[in-house]
Chains A and B, each alone.
Chain A
Amino acid sequence: MAKSHELHRSDFVKSVVAVLGTIIGGFIAIPGIGYLISPSLKFEASEAWIPLGPLENYPDGTPTLFNFTRTKINGWEKTVNSYGVYVVNHGGNQVTVFSNMCTHLSCRVNWQEDGQIYHCPCHDGKFSPTGEVTGGPPPKPLNVYETKIEDGVLSIHFVEG
């Protein structure tokens, strides 16, 4: 066999079966793999301007919590997620809106009036009134939302994903 350059009929059949089998197998594998991985390939970047009501409703200087919900569809189920933001009205149409999500591990921070800090109960993270980290494990300052004021109504630009 090794010395002969002629291709035996049985070897030819074997090669053809191997090649065709690989091609057919590939065609069967594509739907199978696609079926399994397709949900992981869908990135639904959702963004929206969320109205937080008239700016005049927010007291000057004091961080005030505003809660809202967003509905998201995961596969066959609707999930309603709650979000909270701290609105700080500086007066004169100047406003800062912080996310209440701790930058450490996404627990929710609380504004503490007496200590003048945002405090995270999970790992004792602390943020200053301007959102800077003043203690604990958080690696980054609190996230700040892009804001706009139209006809006296405050809105934030909510981006997810």
Chain B
Amino acid sequence: MEKLYTWLDERLGLKTIYDVVLDRKVPKVNWFYTLGSASLFLFVIQAVTGIFLTVYYVPSPDHAYDSIQFIMNGVAFGWLIRGIHHWGATLMVLVVFFHMLRTFYFASYKYPRELTWLTGVLLLFLTLGMGFTGYLLPWNQRAYWATTVGTEIPGTVPIIGPWITSFLRGGPDLSAVTLARFFSLHIWWLPAGIVLLISVHMYLIIRLGISSLPKKDD
């Protein structure tokens, strides 16, 4: 065991990774500073439960609703995995939002952490995008009408509005095409973007360290 570890460490630099990532110095801060880790943890939970859901879910108007009924009633622990994904989604939006508020109120976005803030803002938008696209996938009445309204809203933008609506829907109406592209966005495009930005976000946090609490005279 000891030998194996030494062999691996010599080649991978495990100790360096541990020291840099986990054993880095942090200022004395409070519990609000754990919201970022909580966001990351929730993203991992959503990714894992989401991958599990794709085993049975079918993104087609003929089968979407029935395949979810099957997950809920026909598959062992399907209710649990979908339940975690469902509530985790709501929780993630909340936690990411509070994480942003914390960063703002504690003035952590200032020099030299502007780029951490900017990637964080993009991550917030991507998280909301995940919520918006995921909401359609159950293909029930609520999903259908929420997305009808949600894709109608950008239609009020002058000149290009109607085009945005039909781009989101993949046509003039909410249809099978909409469901397929929302599914694609939900499981490939948005998660890929999130992983990419989390990597940059984390790199910056490790490189710059986290900010300390603002003092009275700051």
Contacts and interface: CB of A to CB of B under 8 A. Distances in A.
Interface residues of B, number: 16
A2 to B, nearest CB: 12
B218 to A, nearest CB: 38
A75 B66 CA distance: 9
Nearest to A32: B52
B58 interface: yes
Interface residues of A, number: 12
A39 B75 CA distance: 7
A3 B75 CA distance: 53
A31 B55 CA distance: 14
Given A76-B67, A76-B69, A35 B74 contact: no
B144 interface: no
Nearest to B77: A31
B63 A36 contact: no
Contacts of B77: 30-32, 34-35, 38
Q: Is the interface of A mostly helix, strand, loop or mixed?
A: helix
A35 B67 contact: no
Nearest to B65: A76
26 contacts: A30-B77, A31-B76, A31-B77, A31-B80, A32-B52, A32-B77, A32-B81, A34-B77, A35-B52, A35-B55, A35-B75, A35-B76, A35-B77, A35-B81, A36-B55, A38-B76, A75-B56, A75-B70, A75-B74, A76-B56, A76-B63, A76-B67, A76-B69, A76-B74, A77-B63, A77-B66
